[in-house]
Amino acid sequence: MDFSPLEKSENLGHLMVKLHDVYNEYKKDIFGTVFSQNRISDVVEEILTEDNVTEEEQALVTEILLALIKEAETKLKAAIADRISVIDDAPHQLSFELAKNDIDVARAILENSVTLTDDDLIYLINTKNSEHWQSIARRRSLEDAIINKLADTNDTLTYNSLLKNFSIRLTHYCGGKIAEKAKKEPFLASGLLSRDELSKSIIIDIYQHVGDAIQQQIQKKYNYTSEELKKAIQDISHELSDGEALTTRQFDAYEQTAQSGNDPEASDNGIISHKEAFLDTERITKQDEEYQTALKYKNSGELDIALMMRHLRRKQFRSFICQLAVLSDLDPGLIKDILRQPFGKGLAIICVALDISKADYMNFFLLTQPLRGSSRIVSDANISKAMSTYSRIDPRQAAKIMENKFNSGEHIR
């Protein structure tokens, strides 16, 4: 492999020489295969994160690394893919090439790489099999079109991965497809019960097809008696028209609400209204049970982003506010006010100061929408503003504001 085109580069020269040396060591296996693989991966990461690289150099780097990948054995490819998967601005061509490999190589890219486009994901779903689909289903962010594409695979293990992915919001169409499958594979029904974003109608639709244990879970979750469920099933049957199956309606519950002329304050389909969320969190203090519980989570080492996200996706806003208050050492009343800001500046300051990723910050921002307004869908403009707000914040300034407990009023500017 020829590393020479970049060996005289001012920014990359020394790294290309280093890559040349460790690659030769790897081929001779001087230090042992795993150690050599890690050394190569380290250098690749250094090269791809080097600053002040020209477009021409970037193109040459991509070409050289593509050649390396094509020549490398599976374990080395997997080691490189694992590093590249978390580099936000890794060359697209490189990520896509790795994603097309066998699952042992592709898994990390499919699950983590933000450089894959929706078109890439659609191509991979169309051309690969269940293992690739499952990995795509575990991504922390998926557009509705990709979720629906995965739903069309009719693959049980892919459905299970989607149900366990609480970083995404399943579409109504996807929920319906899974519900159809769950009639024959009851373990999927249990997964559906854990998804609060899906309408009650989907759960009711599968009620007749599952065992007693899951029927009891449905009754408990929705506070139904068996007689009330029978009536609900009959009511739903009357709503169907032109032979359309209940579980294959194309619109997400959130989308249906946004397009209808219904009162936006309504609380149907299990979606909490702005009014309910606002009133429920209006008075919140350190003396509340939710705050004391959050302290216990912290003391036991269980207070992390995953835990907070689970509560937030269940619309347990009081618990989330108290958890964020404990994590940031701020008053829960202040956190409540910050979360009500339209463009998320105060929340961004907290996340930057606590080294919470941009993806997690955006999840927090999107899922706390009921605290800010009656609209159930965050506008594209507000999403864009929230993202740019996070990107503009200096970590040192954020830490200073946190130190001062937001006393300067910075969070409301």
Judge whether 303 and 290 are in contact, CB under 8 Å.
no
For residue range 354-371, list pLDDT tens digits in order: 999 988 898 898 888 888
Judge residue 266's burial from the number of C-beta atoms within 10 Å of its C-beta, 0-12 exposed, 13-18 middle, 19 or more buried: middle
What confidence score (pLDDT) does residue 392 get? 87
What confidence score (pLDDT) does residue 99 get? 96
Q: What are phi and psi of 235, to 5 degrees?
A: -60, -40
What confidence score (pLDDT) does residue 375 get? 47
Judge whether 33 and 78 are in contact, CB under 8 Å.
no
What confidence score (pLDDT) does residue 259 get? 34
CA distances from 20 to 1, 107, 149, 368 (A): 9, 27, 42, 50
CA distances from 87 to 10, 12, 84, 117 (A): 22, 17, 5, 15
Weakly modelled stretches of the chain, pLDDT under 70: 1-13, 30-32, 199-281, 373-381, 408-413
Task: Give Cβ neighbours of residue 252 (< 8 Å, ≥ 6 apart).
Answer: 144, 169, 171, 172, 173
What confidence score (pLDDT) does residue 354 get? 94
Alpha-carbon distance of 195 to 188, in angstroms, equals 11
What confidence score (pLDDT) does residue 251 get? 31
CA distances from 187 to 1, 161, 198, 211, 246 (A): 51, 12, 17, 10, 21
Alpha-carbon distance of 173 to 157, in angstroms, equals 18
What confidence score (pLDDT) does residue 112 get? 92
What confidence score (pLDDT) does residue 228 get? 54
For residue range 76-100, list pLDDT tens digits in order: 999 999 999 988 889 999 999 999 9
Tokens of 379: 């506008």
Q: Which secondary structure element, helix H or strand E, spans residue 75, and what is its range?
A: helix 74-84
Percent of the chain with pLDDT over 70: 72
Q: Closest Cα to residue 262, out of 368, 352, 342, 376? A: 376
What confidence score (pLDDT) does residue 119 get? 94
